[in-house]
Amino acid sequence: MIAKLSGILDSVAQGALILDVNGVGYEVQASARTLGKVGQHGDVLSLLIDTHVREDALTLFGFIDAMEQQWFRLLYSVQGVGPKAALAILSACPPERIGFAIASGDATALRQADGVGPKLATRIVTELKDKAAKIDLTPPKKGTKVAASAAPVAEEGAAGMDNDAVSALVNLGYGRADAYEAVVQVRGKVNDNKNLGEIIRLALKEFGP
Q: Identify the pLDDT of residue 142.
A: 39
Q: What is the 3-state secondary structure (H, E, C) of the chain?
A: CCCEEEEEEEEEECCEEEEEECCEEEEEEECHHHHCCCCCCCCEEEEEEEEEEECCEEEEEEECCHHHHHHHHHHHCCCCCCHHHHHHHHHHCCHHHHHHHHHCCCHHHHCCCCCCCHHHHHHHHHHHHHHHHCEEEECCCCCCCCEEEECCCCCHHHHHHHHHHHHHHHHCCCCHHHHHHHHHHHHCCCCCCCCHHHHHHHHHHHCCC
Asked if residue 161 belongs to a domain, the reply is yes
Cα(93)–Cα(98) distance, rounded to whole angstroms? 5
Pairing of strands 44-54, 4-13: antiparallel
Same domain, yes or no: 39 and 51 = yes
Same domain, yes or no: 42 and 21 = yes
Residue at 121: amino acid letter: A
Cα(59)–Cα(51) distance, rounded to whole angstroms? 6
Domain end: 64, 81, 96, which one? 64
Residue 86's CATH number: 1.10.150.20
Asked if residue 148 belongs to a domain, the reply is no
Same domain, yes or no: 33 and 89 = no
Q: Identify the pLDDT of residue 135.
A: 55
Cα(95)–Cα(90) distance, rounded to whole angstroms? 7
pTM recorded for the entire structure: 0.69
pLDDT digit string, tens, across residues 112-146: 999 899 999 999 999 998 777 655 444 444 344 43
pLDDT digit string, tens, across residues 35-80: 999 999 999 999 999 999 888 889 999 999 998 999 999 999 999 9
Domain end: 102, 133, 164, which one? 133
Same domain, yes or no: 76 and 110 = yes
- Please count the structural domains in the chain: 3
Residue 178's CATH number: 1.10.8
Same domain, yes or no: 159 and 203 = yes
Structural domain span for residue 91: 67-133
Same domain, yes or no: 77 and 127 = yes
Q: Is the dihedral of CA 144, 145, 147, 153 positive or negative?
A: positive
